[in-house]
Amino acid sequence: MSDNTNEDTEMQSVQGPPTDSGNVANPTAIRPTFDNIFGTEMVDLFVGPEKKRFHVHKSVLCQRVPYFRAMFESEFIEAQENLATFPEDNAESFDVLLIWIYTGKLQQLRRDSVSNKWTWSPIDFFQLAEKLCLPIVMDRTMDTMRAIDCETHMGMGLGSISNTYSKTGTKSAMRKYAIDCLLFIFFESKRHQWPVSTFQDFMKDNPDMAVDFMEGIRAVYDQKKTRLLNPSNTKIPNCQYHCHGADEPCPHSTH
Ligand SMILES: [Zn+2]
C-alpha cells in the first residue's frame, strides 16, 4: 500500500539553466534562478460558479498537464489572454490539483471519524483528473482513498456510489470500485437491513450503474463465488483500481 503523499515524478526545471552566463568560474553565477525554473509568465484560472481565481505560472501548468499545454500554447483565446474559466469545475479540486502540479504530491487526505467528511473530495478530484486525462493522478487518488477505507474498514455507501456515477466516465476506476462496494453491500449485508426495494429505488435513477451491477452479479455467478471480499481490504491489490489494464505493467514503482 502506498502512503498518502508518495508521488510520481520529481519537479523538473521548466526551463534549462541559463546559457548566456559569461562567468563559468563562479558556479553561483550559473545556478538556475526561481524565474529560470518557473518562468515569469502567469495565467489566471477562474474556477467554479464563484469564479475562484488561481494565479499560476504558465510554464509549470503547461509542463505538468498536457490539457493546459493544448489550451495555453495554442491559437485559442485563452492563450492570447492568459486566462481561462472553468465554471463547471470545483475550486477545491483545482486547489488540490495545483498543489500536485507544484509539488508532485497529492495533499494529505483524511476523513473525519464523526462527520465522515473528507478534507477534500476524492470523487470530485478524480472527476477533474479524469477530465484532464491524468491517469497517474487518478491512480494516486484511488490508492489514497482506498488506504483510508482499508484502515477504517469503510467502503463507499450508496450516496458516494451514486455521486461517483454522476461524475465519472464509463469504465472509470472509481466506478469499478463503486460497483464492487455495491456488490459487497448487496451480497454480504444483512437482508433485513438492506431489502431489495432499497436497491430498486437506487437503480432507477442510475441506468449505467444498473447495467454494471448486473454485469457484476453475472461475474460473481460465473466465478462461483460464495463470499465476496470487501473492496476496502488490503488483500485486494491497488492495481485492481488503476487505469492500466490487467495485463499491462503498473507505472507506479511502489507496487
Ligand atoms: Zn497498478
Print pLDDT tens along the chain (255 aa): 444 444 554 444 444 444 444 455 565 678 999 899 889 999 999 999 999 999 999 999 999 999 999 999 988 888 889 999 999 999 999 999 999 999 999 999 999 988 889 999 999 999 999 999 999 999 999 999 999 999 988 889 999 999 999 999 999 999 999 999 999 999 998 888 888 888 888 888 889 999 999 999 999 999 888 888 889 889 999 999 999 998 999 998 654
Q: Are 32 and 177 in contact (CB under 8 A)?
A: no
If you measure from the C-alpha of residue 242 to the centroid of ligand 1, how many angstroms do you get, rounded to a whole number? 5
If you measure from the C-alpha of residue 6 to the centroid of ligand 1, how many angstroms do you get, rounded to a whole number? 14
Q: Are 252 and 137 in contact (CB under 8 A)?
A: no
Buried-state track 9-45, b at ≥16 Cβ within 10 A, e below 16: eebeebeeeeeeeeeeeeeeeeeeeeeebbbeeebeb
If you measure from the C-alpha of residue 101 to the centroid of ligand 1, how many angstroms do you get, rounded to a whole number? 21
If you measure from the C-alpha of residue 141 to the centroid of ligand 1, how many angstroms do you get, rounded to a whole number? 12
48, 41, 47: which is closest to 15 by C-alpha? 41
If you measure from the C-alpha of residue 238 to the centroid of ligand 1, how many angstroms do you get, rounded to a whole number? 6
C-alpha cell at 32: 538556475
Distances (CA, A) of 57 to 26, 60, 180, 227, 241: 29, 5, 40, 51, 32
Sign of the dihedral through C-alpha 214, 220, 224, 227: negative
pLDDT (0 to 100) of residue 50? 96
Rounded distance between C-alpha atoms, residue 253 and residue 255, angstroms: 6
If you measure from the C-alpha of residue 131 to the centroid of ligand 1, how many angstroms do you get, rounded to a whole number? 20
Global pTM?
0.85
